[in-house]
Amino acid sequence: MNKNISEIVRPNILEMEGYSSARDAYEGTQGTFLDANENPYGSLNRYPDPYQQLLKQKLSEIKSVATENIFVGNGSDEVIDLLMRIFCRPSKDKVIGFTPSYGMYQVSASIQDVEYISIALNAQFQIDVERVKPHLTDDSIKIIYVCSPNNPTGNLINVKDIEWLLEQFNSIIVIDEAYIDFANMSSWLSKIKKYKNLVILQTLSKAWGLAALRIGMAYTNTEIIALLNKVKSPYNISSLNQKVALEALQNKKAKDIQVHTIKKERSRLRDELSKIDSITKIHSSETNFLLIEIDNAEDVYRNLISQNIITRNQSNKIENGIRISIGTAEENNRLLKALKENNSQRYSTSKFDCSATNDLINRH
């Protein structure tokens, strides 16, 4: 059913020869190195390992995936961009993404001049299979992006629908699992053996608390890994970032404790938010954020900013939607206090002076 990877990849990428760096030409680590025009002095004078072997070994242990099935990018965003460039011919090929979801898939498609077919998720923020079906026969569609748990809605995408896609779609399926550590479900990682067209994206930016490092991973079959290596810039992860990432990965327990705390706060924040009348909906979350719907979201968002509390206004994607990252207990309390005050002001205003409320509504 699935096509061979070589039938999906852009012909020029398939045929080109990748850059061969000094570290490719000679892989040993000991010796007198006079090959890469490095300055012989200093401590950061040498180019980093282009394939991040130590980092991959550690990831391999943690994830139970062979190192040869791991690619490390400068954030998942680099991987998203590389996949677009590997598989999609500008102004010819197309990709499918679901809305609302992570914005980078579409941005990356636009940069590459690739048509982005946006398919709306249904009312439960699940894939509407009937809307996907007509596209399955379109050979110019090279990638489908599935974000699960989904940003900004917070839910997992149904297993049976993802399985259906994996069975029916014969080009590349990317499952973005940036939030998987917060979810009550295991990763799709174990399926990369079964489905050659499956790419799993994960990141150190969320659960691992290392957004500043810019480390994102792709887990997939060796053929796609080879293509990613061919197209990436030769030294895409700095030595410093490789080192710090490796150190952080040694302490998985610290990560697990943080994830546990964040999940507890998520549940407390939900309980407290549910007591505020202006909040009309709190979506279920398998992530480190909560999507809420609140009366006059636009005004609430600005009001929070005026108190130095920054949330993410999602009302252009979800009516009256605001996305709130789970902070520390203290940060969450600050948010709750501001929202509760805002709520009581709103009610007292409307009780005594309806026009003031109307003004607020009409302003935007």
Cis ω for the linkage preceding 149 (within 30 of 0):
yes
Q: Per-residue x/- marks for ligand PLP, 103-122, CB under 6 A? A: --------------------
| By CB under 6 A, residue 212 contacts ligand PLP | no
For 53-89, b/e burial (b = at least 16 CB within 10 A) is eebbebbbeebebebebbbbbbbbbbbbbbbbbbbbb
Residues within window 181-210 making contact with ligand PLP, judged by CB under 6 A: 203, 205-206
Residue nearer to ligand PLP on the CB measure, 249 or 338: 249
CB of 121 to ligand PLP, least distance (A): 14
Cα–Cα distance between 270 and 290 in angstroms, integer? 8
CB count within 10 Å of CB 17 equals: 6
Query: Token digits for 286?
Result: 């398998």
CB of 75 to ligand PLP, least distance (A): 3
**Sole binder of ligand PLP in the list 9, 178, 180, 282 (CB under 6 A):** 178
Q: Per-residue x/- marks for ligand PLP, 69-88, CB under 6 A? A: ------xxx-----------
**Sole binder of ligand PLP in the list 176, 181, 286, 293 (CB under 6 A):** 176
| By CB under 6 A, residue 321 contacts ligand PLP | no
Q: Which three-class secondary structure state does DSSP give residue 106?
A: helix
Q: Which residue's beta carbon is nearest to the bound ligand PLP?
A: 75
How far does the chain reach from its first CA to its final CA, in angstroms?
Answer: 51
Residue nearer to ligand PLP on the CB measure, 76 or 296: 76
CB of 289 to ligand PLP, least distance (A): 9
Sheet holding 312-313, edge to edge: 279-282, 289-294, 321-325, 312-313
Residues within window 215-244 making contact with ligand PLP, judged by CB under 6 A: 216
Interface size with ligand PLP, residues (CB under 6 A): 13
Query: Token digits for 302?
Result: 């600005």
Residues within window 118-147 making contact with ligand PLP, judged by CB under 6 A: 147
**Sole binder of ligand PLP in the list 47, 71, 98, 102 (CB under 6 A):** 102
CB of 105 to ligand PLP, least distance (A): 9
**Sole binder of ligand PLP in the list 108, 151, 278, 343 (CB under 6 A):** 151
Kindly list the distances between the CA atom of residue 7 and the CA atoms of 12, 16, 87, 115, in Å, as whole numbers in the listed order. 12, 15, 10, 19
Cα–Cα distance between 216 and 210 in angstroms, integer? 10
Query: Token digits for 161?
Result: 């629908």
Pick the closest to residue 236 from 10, 18, 11 (CA basis): 18
Kindly list the distances between the CA atom of residue 153 and the CA atoms of 25, 179, 289, 294, 313, in Å, as whole numbers in the listed order. 46, 12, 9, 15, 13
CB of 181 to ligand PLP, least distance (A): 12
| By CB under 6 A, residue 211 contacts ligand PLP | yes
What are the residues binding ligand PLP (CB under 6 A)? 75-77, 102, 147, 151, 176, 178, 203, 205-206, 211, 216
